[in-house]
A and B are shown apart, each in its own frame.
Chain A
Amino acid sequence: MTVGGEAYLILAALLFTIGAVGLMIRRNVLVMFMCVELMLNAVNLTFVTFARMLNDIGGQAVVFFVLVVAAAEVVVGLGIIVAIFRRRSGATADDLHLLKG
């Protein structure tokens, strides 16, 4: 418990930035989804760190809810991706600019 909270916050900031870069430069929708998961994990790490620094269990409760929402989001997002891939074989986000079925 001796590593300061600032180190955790800096690590979470780096993780969030890597996820954001990946989301912006990759074209494969599945990899973009994984980058969103990276950003969510960075935020979870921040919440747990603040829960420790501020001595507050609420931070960990928020992480619990973030996990549930992330699971629901992945299920619906992958369902959408499966539905899109059934209709067309394009694998990149550039092919989806029409938003038509």
Chain B
Amino acid sequence: MILAATRVDAAVFAISAVIILTGAIGVVTARNPVHSALMLVMTLFGVAVLFVAQEAHFLAAVQVIVYAGAIVVLFLFVIMLLGVDKEESIEADPLPGQRPIALVLALMTLGELLLLSRMQNSWAAGVESDAGPLNGPGTNVEKLASVIFTRYLLAFEVTSVLLVIAVVGAVVLARKPRRASEEQPEPVGGE
């Protein structure tokens, strides 16, 4: 029984990892931005599966709703509204030497991250956080809600202000520009 559960967990992780990495490589290598956006959906779903596998049920749902349901759709709207779904040649390297340098920097980052992930005892300070345990009583949603609305209440309120500012900024930025003859400083929204 335990062995079967182990195999299922390993299979879920392996399949999700393949989906995530395939989607990520697809985002980078696809010539058409629409294909990149669809590959991004694939990666986001794989990450949501791994959230479920790690008992982060609420975050998995939010991941699917916000990322796959809102952010990628926003990307697709912009791609199609602007008509920039032209294929881009990615064989040519406009800036000589950029790709080798990018690869070297990325491999250095990867090596450092892998090194850190092997040092099991150095990132855990051994101090209990005051946010509360993950494995306590109650469901995942209850625990996450109680910590967000008590310990992180100020941060939660600040994020609501941030969202309002983002909405106002998007409206101001995406408004049609006036004619050049009557160009004047645009009023800042919200005043």
A residues adjacent to B (C-beta < 8 A): 1-3, 6-22, 24-28, 30-31, 33-35, 37-38, 41, 44-45, 48-61, 63-65, 67-76, 78-83, 85-87, 91-92, 94
Contact of B113 with A17 in the complex, beta carbons under 8 Å: yes
Q: Chain B binding site: helix, strand, loop or mixed by DSSP?
A: helix
Contact of B114 with A65 in the complex, beta carbons under 8 Å: no
Nearest Cβ on chain B to A24's Cβ, whole angstroms: 4
| Interface membership of B188, Cβ < 8 A | no
Contact of A35 with B105 in the complex, beta carbons under 8 Å: no
Give the most central of B37, B75, B165, B176: most A CB within 10 Å: B75
Contact of A7 with B163 in the complex, beta carbons under 8 Å: no
Give the size category of B's interface with A. 35 or more
Partner of B117, one of A6, A86, A91: A6
Contact of B109 with A17 in the complex, beta carbons under 8 Å: yes
Q: Within the assembled complex, what's the spacing in Å between the Cα atoms of A24 and B55? A: 34
Top 9 closest A-B pairs, CB basis?
A: A58-B131, A79-B173, A22-B28, A13-B113, A9-B117, A24-B102, A72-B166, A79-B170, A18-B24
B residues adjacent to A (C-beta < 8 A): 5-6, 9-10, 13, 17, 20-21, 24-25, 27-28, 30, 33, 36-37, 40, 43-44, 47, 50-51, 53-56, 58-59, 62-63, 66-67, 70-71, 74-75, 78-79, 81-82, 84, 86, 88, 90, 94, 98-99, 102-103, 105-107, 109-110, 113-114, 116-118, 120, 123-124, 128-129, 131-136, 140, 143-144, 147-148, 151-152, 155-156, 159, 162-163, 165-167, 169-174, 176-177
Q: List 24 A-B contacts (CB under 8 A).
A: A2-B10, A9-B117, A11-B50, A17-B106, A17-B109, A18-B21, A18-B27, A21-B28, A21-B102, A24-B102, A28-B84, A33-B75, A34-B37, A45-B47, A52-B54, A57-B133, A57-B136, A61-B147, A63-B59, A71-B163, A71-B166, A78-B78, A79-B174, A83-B173
